[in-house]
A and B are shown apart, each in its own frame.
Chain A
């Protein structure tokens, strides 16, 4: 059995904010009719998370459920648990029109930390960070690639992208965080 490896092996860069590739993280795409009672039941049973409302993130311990689209959730959980939670969801949703896919190895997760973390991303994304609340997932682009981001802690933004563009994303974030390139204070 091969050893699972994250896209950039936990690389980090120090600037006016810190950019870190966060290593292996479990991620499951769950698609289907979010209004169906079976969906909320399956989610609760498999992860403990409540069904999140529009653009919201619900949490239970280390598990997160993020609203990605009217028919799609992204579940974030510890890497070793992804396969077992996938199996639980598939069992709970048997017979339903739903899709469960373990995408843990198809994605990369980054953390941007520091009091000026917003500024790193404000240069790259068409997002009003002053108006981005906590516990909300925002799908957008960072320069030329798709991204999903949220405030994962005070002074920390987490960002997910496709693994195939992880190096691009890391270089992009590290360049944007270069010391001396802070945005002028508002």
Chain B
């Protein structure tokens, strides 16, 4: 069972209190972008075995969207952080590197 701490209300929320939102930090390509960029934005997703960044919504709690860094193989959670950022904050990167020294980076 996955437990993620919501950075907005501070609750260590059970997975069943959350709604998944897929991969985090997507860059949006809309009108004016190339077909390849638009296709990538819509459909191309990472599928790593290991460190992954995801969007989650505290659906049954405070209702807010937040981001989480976790390992897809072990379910280990490296940290959660507010969604108003375009890349993982330094403390999250540091927490991942401390536990996965061979991680290639975001």
Contacts and interface: CB of A to CB of B under 8 A. Distances in A.
Contacts, number: 35
A140 B6 CA distance: 12
B62 interface: yes
B6 to A, nearest CB: 10
A149 to B, nearest CB: 12
A69 interface: yes
Contacts of B20: none
B29 interface: no
A73 to B, nearest CB: 12
Contact of A70 (B13, B14, B16, B64): B64
A11 B9 CA distance: 33
A72 B17 CA distance: 19
Contacts of A179: none
B11 interface: yes
A103 to B, nearest CB: 15
B10 A140 contact: no
A80 interface: no
B16 A141 contact: yes
A45 interface: no
Interface residues of A, number: 13
Instruction: Tell me the dominant secondary structure on chain B's binding face.
Output: loop
B60 A69 contact: no
A140 B62 CA distance: 9
B38 interface: no
A69 B17 contact: no
A51 to B, nearest CB: 16
Contact of B60 (A54, A68, A70, A141): A141
B63 interface: yes
Interface string A72-86: 100000000000000
Contact of B9 (A55, A141, A147): A55
A147 B10 CA distance: 17
A69 B16 contact: no
B8 A70 contact: yes
Interface of A: 54-55, 68-70, 72, 126, 138-141, 146-147
